[in-house]
Amino acid sequence: MKYMRDTLVIFRRSMTLSIQNPIWIVISLIQPILYLVLFGPILLSIAQTPGFPPGDAWQVFVPGLLVQLGVFGAFFVGFGIIAEWRAGVVERMLVAPIHRTALLSGLVIRDIIIVIVQGLVMIGLSYLFGLRISLGTIVLSLLIIAFLAATFSYLSYAVALATKSEDALAPIINSLALPILLLSGILLPMSLAPRWLQIISDFNPVKHIVVALRASFRGEMFGFDIMLGLIIVMIIALMAAFVGNLAIKSLAR
């Protein structure tokens, strides 16, 4: 009850501040749109290659972009909390009798909502390019993306609070994001990759989420791929939340 109330207050504050200063929301939205417009057409021509997964090119490509949005839209939120920590905002919130875990959950809900709005914009835009998916697919995909965004936003906050330095956060995030991206089959499906690369990518949870999302875009609701992806994304979200709250606790050490 108190946890919900505290979370809601923190969420409302951070959401209002984001809306009052929407430049970052716009910038992070422009990137996937550029991918869609400038990279999508190339993909159309290689969709005929043997080994390319079933479904039309947009059904393969848009899920990848959604996952990219979930990872990158959320992975850089840590910069915001470093600025707030430096301004004393984090400390003055922790000095109030709030539930310790409410601080991050309020921020993470804001991050999830921003990513979902961006996802909706992207799905709408893809419709103009010829993507056709059901309402159920949209709901399921956004649910998965929400958990994914929660995961990376918790992780970003954890690293940010542990380092308290933009100069340390940037290289850590970048060096994590690149292999996650390359080994997830976001842009090109991993089924095109040689065997050894496929085996490595099996250890990347994000790959299974991409696979699940593509299955959902093909309309294979509640198949094995989707269930596996959903379970994985929930587990990593829980783990990330745990790590994030650990970082809050260790501020008092």
Partner 1 sequence: MNTRILNQVNRSTPFAGQSEAIAMISSRGLSKTFKTRTSEVHAVRDVNFDVHKGEIVGFLGPNGAGKSVTMKMLSTLLEVSKGAASVVEFDLLSQQNEIRSRIGVVSQRGSTSDTAKAGDEIVWHAQLYGISPKEARRRGKELFKALDLEPQWEQKCESLSGGQRRRIDIAMGLIHRPQLVFMDEPTTGLDPQSRANLWDHIRKLRDKFGTTIFLTTHYMDEADALCDRILIIDKGSVVATGTPKQLKSQISADTIRLTVRTNEDAAKTGHVVDSLGWGKPEINGNLVRFQVDNGAKALPGLMKSLGEKEIDAIGVEVSSPTLDDVFLSLTGRTLRD
Query: Closest approach of Cβ 18 to partner 1, in Å?
Result: 10
Q: Does 164 bind partner 1 (CB under 8 A)?
A: no
- For the chain, helix (H) and strand (E) counts, in that order, are 12, 0
Query: Closest approach of Cβ 102 to partner 1, in Å?
Result: 9
The tokens for 222 are 């509640």
Query: Closest approach of Cβ 80 to partner 1, in Å?
Result: 10
CB burial class (10 A; 0-12, 13-18, 19+) of residue 76? buried
Task: Quote the DSSP letter at residue 52.
Answer: P
Q: In the window 13-32, what residues touch partner 1 (CB under 8 A)? A: 13, 16-17, 20-21
* Residue number with CB closer to partner 1 (24 or 129): 24
Q: Does 111 bind partner 1 (CB under 8 A)?
A: no
CA distance 75 to 37: 23
Q: Does 170 bind partner 1 (CB under 8 A)?
A: no
* Residue number with CB closer to partner 1 (88 or 130): 88
Query: Closest approach of Cβ 58 to partner 1, in Å?
Result: 38
Q: Does 179 bind partner 1 (CB under 8 A)?
A: no
Interface stretch with partner 1, choices 1-9, 53-61, 114-122, 129-137 (CB under 8 A): 1-9
Query: Closest approach of Cβ 246 to partner 1, in Å?
Result: 14
CA distance 156 to 168: 12
Task: Quote the DSSP letter at residue 39.
Answer: I
Say if residues 120 and 150 touch (Cβ distance below 8 Å): no
Hey, is 164 helix, strand or coil?
coil
Among 67, 98, 213, 230, which residue interacts with partner 1 (rule: CB under 8 A)?
A: 98
Q: Does 132 bind partner 1 (CB under 8 A)?
A: no
Q: b vs e for 162-187, b when ≥16 Cβ sit within 10 Å of the residue's Cβ?
A: bbeeeeebeebbeebbeebbbbbbbe
Which has the closest alpha carbon to 143: 234, 77, 68?
234
Q: Can you state the angle between helices 205-217 and 57-75, rounded to 10 degrees? A: 140
CA atoms within 13 A on the CB side of 103: 25
Query: Closest approach of Cβ 11 to partner 1, in Å?
Result: 11
* Residue number with CB closer to partner 1 (98 or 169): 98
Query: Closest approach of Cβ 214 to partner 1, in Å?
Result: 39
* Residue number with CB closer to partner 1 (38 or 96): 96
Q: Does 97 bind partner 1 (CB under 8 A)?
A: yes
Binding mask 56-95 for partner 1 (x = CB under 8 A): ---------------------------xx-xxxx-xxxxx
CA distance 135 to 91: 43
Residues that bind partner 1 (CB under 8 A): 5-6, 9-10, 12-13, 16-17, 20-21, 83-84, 86-89, 91-98, 251-253
